[in-house]
Structure 1
Amino acid sequence: MMLTGSSFLQRSVTLLVLAVVVVVQAEDPYRFFNWNVTYGDISPLGVRQQGILINGQFPGPDLYSVTNDNLIINVYNNLDEPFLLSWNGVQQRKNSFEDGVYGTTCPIPPGKNFTYILQVKDQIGSFYYFPSLSFHKAAGGFGGIKILSRPRIPVPFPDPAGDLTVLIGDWFKTDHRQLKAKLDGGHKLPFPDGILINGHGPNDAYFTVEQGKTYRFRISNVGLQNTLNFRIQGHKMTLVEVEGTHTVQTIYESLDVHVGQSYSVLVTMDQAAQDFYVVASTRFTNKILTTTATLHYSNSNKAVSGPIPGGPTYQIDWSLNQARSIRTNLTASGPRPNPQGSYHYGLINITRTIKLASSADQVNGKQRYAVNSVSFVPADTPLKLADYFNIEGVFRVGSISVNPTGKNMYLDTSVMGADYRAFVEIVFENHESIVQSWHIDGYAFWVVGMDGGLWTPDSRKQYNLNDAISRSTTQVYPRSWTAIYMALDNVGMWNVRTEYWARQYLGQQFYLRVYTPVKSVRDEYPIPKNALLCGRAIGKSTIPL
């Protein structure tokens, strides 16, 4: 039998995956993706600039899968600099080597390729991927991730007529290298130049629908710093899923989507046949940036008209109340055939409370950001590799406190230790005047409470211990707190970060080392045989002894 080039690649990668027999189970399907990463000319806001394309596309192609699928993603880096992709919200069960951030994964060198071997184990929902190095996120390279339920698992709504990806985010006309240079020089970013919908500026994106049918819109805020409000002229949105959790099906006229967050809504095309505005606009900013796309009824001969529908602007209470209204659908199945609420998180004893506070200051005359006074600086070797190969001097567990210290900001490669199977409470404290957005790789957590002012133990009295939403990204309002519960059931080295990308780049992040002394493939997979090695890990063997 003769194999084509594509078939030969798929066969070769399959053999590679099967060689690491503990990584995947043979009965789960494989999906193969070949992605070519290049620079290309784009002009989303009418100014020609260099963007990052995947297979010639900006944004990149959707990553489509079904629960438990094995995803074999061969990424060719044809940029002139190292490159990494990360998977926002995809949990990488027992496999932080594939997380795609510099603390866990060596960059793909220019002109080389790397094959990510992922499994969307026990996950459903809406997520996205993005480039995690060198402020590449400001140049593109992002795309949607759809994880559908297996056919035999009931979904709490009828199959929609279409499943549409909607990537919204703020955007700069300035080249990403210039933005990076500004940050490297110790300065803050300016205000963005505009908002994009699916890589398009005002009035350029287009969604074609059929009258009378219902569509699923998967909305992700892939921007750099701004909360956006999303709405569709003349239409209601029924929220059905948030970052892998089916929700109580609440109807909204508009929805706040904070940086890094993803939502699924159902929209029924129940209006007269014409075109309508799809709108995204900034929240909590003095200057309101707005962009529009077009919702086109296929039988319409009337162009979009009338004023662009307005949305909330500075109202924090409005957003807080909306956030509290988002709850888990306890009667719906998740990725497995059992109710999502069968895991009673509210009845589990907390083994540890961690409090995290952000801060902004200057260190050595340059702008920096910190968590519990520590502004993160990358090491010369990915932390996960240093941990796996027992390379000393790369990081120190406990280099960040589990509580705010009140000390002056300082630089360090901050790693917090945590025990496997602990059940922790994490309180994000925001003493600043901006909305924060936090993400934890490798995990979903329950957002049990949020409110203004200072958190105290008495704040637990208002926690939702019944049907809080489970997700991987949460907001913290100005001079407020947000509390989460999280089961530490995923061994590895996991990035905890702000989703405000300039702040992340300048230190508002750290790594959570979830550790067990028992070395078992039931808890954590060994290093992939095709893992790239860099820094002090060069020359090490990826073949287990």
Structure 2
Amino acid sequence: MPLKGELAVFLVTLLVVNTIAESPYRFFEWNVTYGTIWPLGLPQKGILINGQFPGPDIHSVTNDNVIINVFNNLDEDFLISWNGIQNRRNSFEDGVWGTTCPIPPGKNFTYILQVKDQIGSFYYFPSTAFHKASGGFGGFRILSRPGIPVPFDEPAGDFTVLIGDWYKSNHTYLKSILDRNHKLPFVDALHINGIGPQGPNRTSFTVDQGKTYRLRISNVGLEHSLNFRIEGHKMKLVEVEGTHTMQETYSSLDVHVGQSYSVLITADQTPKDYYIVVSNRFSSILLTTTGVLHYSNSNQEFTGPPPGGPTIEIGWSLTQARSIR
């Protein structure tokens, strides 16, 4: 009889421990619609998530269970892929055609992802029907659990920076070109967080002098490798898609399609506005777009042209790749 009592106590204790130890759940509800967007200063038909372009950031902590209920209010199937997320136990929900079925118009699907043993910078994007050319993408960050250190001090701020190439035409027209086995035309522009060179306002990040900030840079574009740089500031690379690096310092970085980098920058310059520059690589046609690194104690705008970067030099990019690996 005493053995039964001890067994009961053990089972209750086990239940309590498992309940306490269970990883947290984070719930998101997304409404996917068409809407008007203005990345190049002209109205375009874009894809919005909860009315936003780019879509909302997902903030999570390693081992979290991330539950995302997606309602498709487009007039065509829609599917989201989670770039770099391992999807523990649910790899069939990676959002790739063939393993995950698209969401039919007027229907919803609940993605259940566990970000098990991952820390870093990622993004999501629509993976079918060339929807990515019209939006539907956003940042996905996974933070370390409290008490588990990362190899750098906590920054004063943490910014998502989505860069990419962009067309004036929407996904429907571009897909029709590809469906006829024709090559796409050259892209019209580049963007930073959905704002291109003719956009209504530049993308801007405000920093306090003397403090260090983390930028999570993802190339969410369609075709082009892009170079990213900040006037007058060095960038310390600390993470690439969930892997902490050797922390080399760069004046500019090539970010290829699908890649995500984390860099640390310190606002250690004279307080004013500095150019953030994105330009394409390996092309005879050079495109550039700019954003703003704004010091909070600045009242001085840009002076002079934005700093140049590498253009067609392949060796430069290979040297960078070797230093990262």
TM over 0.5: yes
1:176 corresponds to 2:171? yes
Partner of residue 297, structure 2: 299
Partner of residue 151, structure 1: 146
1:125 corresponds to 2:120? yes
1:101 corresponds to 2:96? yes
- Amino acid across the alignment from 2:92: F
1:79 corresponds to 2:74? yes
1:196 corresponds to 2:191? yes
Secondary structure in 2 matching 1:235: coil
The Cα of 1:91 is off from its aligned counterpart by 1.1
The Cα of 1:123 is off from its aligned counterpart by 0.5
Q: In the aligned structure 1, how far is the partner of 2:37 from the partner of 2:92?
A: 33
- Amino acid across the alignment from 1:253: S
Partner of residue 252, structure 1: 250
Partner of residue 33, structure 1: 28
Aligned equivalent of 1:225, options 205, 223, 228: 223
Q: In the aligned structure 1, how far is the partner of 2:148 from the partner of 2:170?
A: 45
The Cα of 1:93 is off from its aligned counterpart by 2.4
The Cα of 1:29 is off from its aligned counterpart by 0.4
* Deviations 1:361-418, CA, capped at 9 Å, x for gaps: xxxxxxxxxxxxxxxxxxxxxxxxxxxxxxxxxxxxxxxxxxxxxxxxxxxxxxxxxx
Q: In the aligned structure 2, how far is the partner of 1:45 from the partner of 1:277?
A: 18
1:242 corresponds to 2:240? yes
Normalization by structure 2: what TM-score?
Answer: 0.92
The Cα of 1:94 is off from its aligned counterpart by 3.5
Within 5 Å, which residues of 2 pair with 1:270-285? 270-285=268-283
Aligned equivalent of 2:40, options 32, 38, 45: 45
The Cα of 1:112 is off from its aligned counterpart by 1.1
Aligned residue pairs, count? 304
- Amino acid across the alignment from 1:40: G
Within 5 Å, which residues of 2 pair with 1:365-384? none
Tell me how large the CA RMSD over aligned residues is: 1.2
Partner of residue 90, structure 1: 85
Q: Which runs of 5+ in 2 are unaligned?
A: 1-18
- Amino acid across the alignment from 1:158: D
Secondary structure in 2 matching 1:183: helix
Aligned equivalent of 1:269, options 260, 267, 273: 267
The Cα of 1:286 is off from its aligned counterpart by 0.6
Partner of residue 9, structure 1: none
Identity of paired residues, percent?
74
Q: In the aligned structure 2, how far is the partner of 1:205 from the partner of 1:79?
A: 28
* Deviations 1:408-451, CA, capped at 9 Å, x for gaps: xxxxxxxxxxxxxxxxxxxxxxxxxxxxxxxxxxxxxxxxxxxx
- Asked if 1 retains the 8 angstrom alpha-carbon contact of 2:88 and 2:113, the reply is no
Q: In the aligned structure 2, how far is the partner of 1:47 from the partner of 1:140?
A: 15
Normalization by structure 1: what TM-score?
Answer: 0.55
- Amino acid across the alignment from 1:217: L
The Cα of 1:45 is off from its aligned counterpart by 0.8
Partner of residue 207, structure 2: 209
Q: Which runs of 4+ in 1 moved over 6 A?
A: none
- Amino acid across the alignment from 1:137: K
The Cα of 1:197 is off from its aligned counterpart by 0.1
Closer, same or farther: CA 178–25 of 1 in aligned 2, 3 Å: farther
The Cα of 1:95 is off from its aligned counterpart by 2.2
Partner of residue 364, structure 1: none
Q: In the aligned structure 2, how far is the partner of 1:113 from the partner of 1:57?
A: 18
Partner of residue 526, structure 1: none
1:312 corresponds to 2:307? no
Closer, same or farther: CA 25–282 of 1 in aligned 2, 3 Å: farther
Q: In the aligned structure 2, how far is the partner of 1:60 from the partner of 1:304?
A: 29
* Deviations 1:252-283, CA, capped at 9 Å, x for gaps: 00000000000000000001110000000000
